[in-house]
Each structure stands twice: as C-alpha cells, then as structure tokens.
Structure 1
Amino acid sequence: MKTLLTTLALCASALFGTGAALAQSNATAYPVAPAAGLYQAFGEKAGLQALMDDFVQRLAADAAIGDQFKTTNLENLSRLLTEQTCQLAGGPCQYSGRNMVQSHAGLKITPAHFNRLVEVLQASMDAKGIPFTRQNQMLALLAPMHRDVITVR
C-alpha cells in the first residue's frame, strides 16, 4: 500500500510540481481529470457518503492516528470528504470546505500519518467492494494533496 501511495505521490509531483496554485479553496485546486465513470463506480453521492461515513469512523478508531480526530466533528468531516471526493470523481458536488493548507495547518501531520490515512481509506474501499482499479483512480485524484496535508517533513 505504501508503494502505491509513493508512486501516486511521485507521479503527482512530477505532473504538478509545487506552488501556491495548489492552495486554492476547492477540490479543483488539484487538476487531475477523473477517470470516465468514476463517480458512478463509487455509487454516486450516496455511495461516496456511505464510504466516507465508514472511513471517518475507521479513522477515529484507528490506533495509529485516531487521536488526531478526537476533537473533530466527524459528521462534518464525512460531509466535507463526500463533497470533495464527489467533485474530484466528476460528480455534481461542490466542495465547501477550507483548502488543504488551512485545514491541516499546525496539526503536525507526518508522512507516516498520511500513509496510514490512505491505508484506512483503502480498507474502507475494500469493505465497500470498490474494485482495485477504481480505488487507484480515486487515490490518483487525492495524491496531489499530500504536499498540502503533510506539515512535518
């Protein structure tokens, strides 16, 4: 799993470099086109909401990173993640949250935290029966965010 994330992160870095343009306030700040049919493959908004509800509960319960979510409004986090993944996957949603730099400032997130979060997301996608190819397509859309989420290098 870490190899997949590393590959995705390197591809994203090579494609998009670094820069302030990535600190925009919506999901389109990460200009990767979704694969055809990705939104539908995830069950549209209802499927993404169910996935994010599962994911957020797993994050909160995770022994390695759950403490980082102890004061988080989990319902709001799930709603925002649903909006974000829906928009990224080509759905009709608009992400209404803060940009990734603002959302994660001061949280002392390391590469290990980020990698664990991806592993938890993969476990949620597995539990929801999302095919591996579709998982990789979603992860490719999310991978460029790593540079704005990781705050401790």
Structure 2
Amino acid sequence: MMTRFTVLAAALVLAGCQALQGTPEPTLYQQLGERQGIARIVEDLLYRIVEDDRINHQFKGVNVAQFHRNLTDQLCELSGGPCTYTGREMRELHADMAITDTQFNALAEHLILAMEENDVPTGAQNRMIKRLVPLYPDIRNL
C-alpha cells in the first residue's frame, strides 16, 4: 500500500528525471546573451574603465571601436560562442604596459559589475572569469 509520502517521493523522483531529460542548461555563451549580450557587457565595461583612474591611463590612445570588437570576439570565443578572436597575442599586447595586480583586479571587478548590470547569473560570471584566469600571466607578463 502506497502512503502519501511514497507517492510524493515518487513524484519528486520522476520530476527530477524529467528535468534531467528536459531542456538542456544554457551554455555560457547563451547566458552571456550571445554576441549581442557580450557586446553590451563590453560597452558597459568600457564606460567603467574610462571612469576609473586606476586603469584608464592604460587605455589612452586605444582605438575604442577596435578594442570593443576584439574584446567582444575574445569573450565570445572564450564563452564557447561561434566567434574567433583575431587580435594580437595577450603577451605582445600588454608587453609595455607594466600592469599591476591592482589594475588587473580592477578590470576584473569592472567586468563582473558589467555582467551583473546585464543580468548575467552569478554562476555564469564565475565561469567566464575562470576562463579568463589563464590569460593572467600573459597580461601581467610574468
């Protein structure tokens, strides 16, 4: 004889199985809003960079449109999207910049805030940052 608890437990197990077989979890690329969403995140990041005296001098003279396009492509590619980053290698690009940990962390903070501003879930933000961490030695030229 099935009790109410047994029926409820069976229903929960079946619901869990259906969830596993249902709609797949969105990819990181999708959670970032695909290319259009990534472009918005990068745009918001650029505004934050301009306002931050800790790092804005590092971007003086940068072609903003090209930087926007390259960073969008890079984040798109790193997130598993169909983009290809064709910009310069990170080590070459940052060779003469003498970027400090404080500056690196400031940019990472602004990227996180830009993702938050664009309603990117925290888990997706963390996954994106995790994919950027391997670039750290080349950006810092260690």
TM-score scaled by length of structure 1 = 0.73
1:69 paired with 2:67, answer no
CA distance in 2, matches of 1:140, 1:105: 23
What one-letter code is carried by the residue in structure 1 that aligns with 2:114?
A: S
Report the Cα offset of residue 63 of structure 1.
Answer: 2.0
| Runs ≥4 residues deviating over 4 A | none
- Measured after TM superposition, the shift of residue 78 of structure 1 is 1.0
Residue pairs, 1:97-108, within 5 angstroms: 97-108=87-98
Structure 1 gaps of 5+ residues are: 1-34
Q: Deviations over 1:85-139 (max 9, x none)?
A: 1111111101010110011011111111101110111111111111111100000
| Residue 36 of structure 1: how far off its partner (Å) | 6.1
Q: One-letter code of the match for 2:31? A: A
Aligned residues: 118
Identity over aligned pairs, percent: 38
Query: 1:51 — aligned with what?
Result: 41
1:14-72: per-residue Cα shift (whole Å, max 9, x none)?
Answer: xxxxxxxxxxxxxxxxxxxxx96100111110000111111122112212111111211
- 2:112 is the counterpart of 1:122: yes
What's the counterpart of residue 60 of structure 1? 50
Gaps of 5+ in 2: 1-24
Q: Relative contact order (alpha carbons < 8 A, sep ≥ 6): 1 or 2 greater? A: 1
Aligned-pair RMSD on alpha carbons? 1.5
Aligned residue number for residue 9 of structure 1:
none
After the TM superposition, which residues 1-153 of structure 1 pair with which residues of structure 2 at under 5 Å, given as runs? Answer: 37-151=27-141
Stretch of structure 1 that moved more, 91-100 or 71-80: 71-80
Secondary structure of the corresponding residue to residue 101 of structure 1: helix
Structure of greater Rg: 2
Calculate the TM-score normalised by the size of structure 2. Answer: 0.78
**Equivalent AA in structure 2 for residue 109 of structure 1:** I
